[in-house]
Amino acid sequence: MAPPAIAAALAEAIAAEANDDQGSPIASAKAAAPGFVNLRFADAALEAVIDGIRLAPAAWGRVADSASAGRHVNVEFVSANPTGPLTVGNARGAFVGDLLARVLEAGGQRVTREYYFNDTGAQVKNLGASILAIREGRAIPEDGYHGEYVVDLATELPDELSAPRADGDDPEGERFWAAGRWASDRIRRGIEASLEALGVHFDAWTTEGSLVEGGWVDQAVARLREGDHLYEQDGATWFRSTTFGDDKDRVVIRSNGSLTYFAFDIGYLVEKFSRNFDHLIYIWGADHHGTVARVRNAAEAMGYDKAAVEMILTGWVHFVSGGQELSMSKRAGTFIALDDLLAELGADAARWYFASRGANVNMDVDIELAKRQSSENPVYYVQYAHARIASILRKATDAGMTAAPSVAGLLAGAPEGMLARVVARFPEVVEDAAAAQETQGITAYATELATAFHAFYRDARVIDADEPERSAKRLALADATRISLANALALLGISAPEAM
């Protein structure tokens, strides 16, 4: 049967059933070329949805019965090394991770937001060496840290950490390590403060040091050895990643006995699973794609469900200023601090910017243009619609009017019916977003809802003393719209102002 014929048959059957059932939510079903069936909801069904929003505002837009509902997910993101403040380059990871966590929660999942601090890496020692060099008036090593913040750290370094050892000896750069640990601890507190300012809260902070001290790396290595997934070659210990489809095998323990970054990855894997997560998500930069396979392979080799280990790679953000490419090197000190940009842009505008774009696409951001255009950000369009409704509701209250408990009979009119149909779609939008683990649908919907309200505002007067009954119902519809806008913005971590 050709699509138009199938559509016609379906439409006929649905229409017949709707006619038989008095309480059917479907008012009509019509076939349309080249094979669509257009359903029209009954006004009564739509009215019930709108009334329900105001009865349980907090629940509106939360989906509890999706396929993944109830899952406990660990989302690890940012995890920038504590060797300098967060840069604008870290902004994407921070927002993408936080937005993902929010959308998963809206879909009924439990989320732990986690940050991994590499506090024992060579870069910490390197940072310490740079600080001591400045303190002692020596030149900073070429591959050391050159940013202004390093000078500040050198100034603030406690005397006992800068003093040479009495015996003049410094086994394995112990002084560098001590200064580096002090500095990274201080930087870490700054990073935590920056993230709080973005509205990004973490539930767990894990350090590289704790993975060794807790025996997690040893445990991971033991598990791989038991499964015969390790072998010795050239004095190093290798993981047979190729068994699971990788390009090459990977070193776990170097010939000098030290652990590779990969060793910490697999130790962390065991540690995370020991906390009974159903699913692990890593937000990594696109440059880490090469490490995806080995970590997932190791999970499989250790007996975990490979599908439970998921990496989301964020695309590159290419920053330019006045046509000039900006490099973001912490070591060279040529970065733009995240705090500085946010102070000018505002967290709401920045959040919207990243929420409305896919995580994996590359983007060009002109810093000067972004600053100049921040007031043109679409986020204000949506916030304005919310503030406008809030203003109307205040004005109604002042005039002694209250919203009706039900919008019954109101939605047959064009301005009301068109707005209500957009409002009613919100849960479906959230469900799609949670399933796709993306937020672009939310921003697109919020914009559409704001547009629908502005059209309603133009065509229908809400506060009208001459028609108190219809006015009360329009207030109810406006309030339901306000709740939808507020919940959509909250889902994105964006404020919903009462006035603008």
Partner RNA sequence: GUCCCCGUAGCUCAGUGGACAGAGCGGCUGCCUUCUAAGCAGCGGGUCGCAGGUUCGAAUCCUGCCGGGGACGCCA
Cβ proximity of 210 and 120 under 8 Å: no
What's the CA gap between 328 and 335, in Å, rounded? 4
Cβ proximity of 110 and 71 under 8 Å: yes
Sign, CA dihedral 10-12-14-17, equals negative
Q: Among residues 259 and 338, whose Cβ is nearest to RNA?
A: 259
Other Cβ atoms closer than 10 A to 273: 19
* Environment class of 187 (CB within 10 Å of its CB; exposed 0-12, middle 13-18, buried 19+): buried
- At 63, which amino acid appears? V
Q: Which helix (H) or strand (E) holds 74?
A: strand 72-76
Beta bridge partners of 319: 365
Task: Report in angstroms how near the CB of residue 222 gets to RNA at its nearest.
Answer: 20
Residue with tokens 């007996």: 303
Q: Among residues 52 and 381, whose Cβ is nearest to RNA?
A: 381
Q: Among residues 162 and 374, whose Cβ is nearest to RNA?
A: 374
Task: Report in angstroms how near the CB of residue 31 gets to RNA at its nearest.
Answer: 9
Task: Report in angstroms how near the CB of residue 232 gets to RNA at its nearest.
Answer: 9
What's the CA gap between 35 and 30, in Å, rounded? 10
Q: Which one, of 432, 435, 441, 427, lies nearest residue 492 by Cα?
A: 441
What's the CA gap between 67 and 87, in Å, rounded? 37
Cβ proximity of 302 and 216 under 8 Å: no
Task: Report in angstroms how near the CB of residue 123 gets to RNA at its nearest.
Answer: 6
Residue with tokens 């696409």: 361
Q: Please confirm whether the linkage preceding 34 is cis (ω < 30° from 0).
A: yes
Task: Report in angstroms how near the CB of residue 167 gets to RNA at its nearest.
Answer: 29
DSSP string covering 223-258: HHHHTT-EEEETTEEEE-GGGGT-SS-EEEE-TTSP
Task: Report in angstroms how near the CB of residue 155 gets to RNA at its nearest.
Answer: 26
Beta bridge partners of 183: none
What's the CA gap between 101 and 75, in Å, rounded? 7
Task: Report in angstroms how near the CB of residue 259 gets to RNA at its nearest.
Answer: 8
Q: Does residue 59 sit in helix, strand or coil? A: helix
**Strands (E) located in 264-393:** 279-285, 309-314, 317-321, 324-325, 363-366
Cβ proximity of 494 and 352 under 8 Å: yes
What's the CA gap between 443 and 379, in Å, rounded? 8
Task: Report in angstroms how near the CB of residue 138 gets to RNA at its nearest.
Answer: 24
What's the CA gap between 340 and 267, in Å, rounded? 36
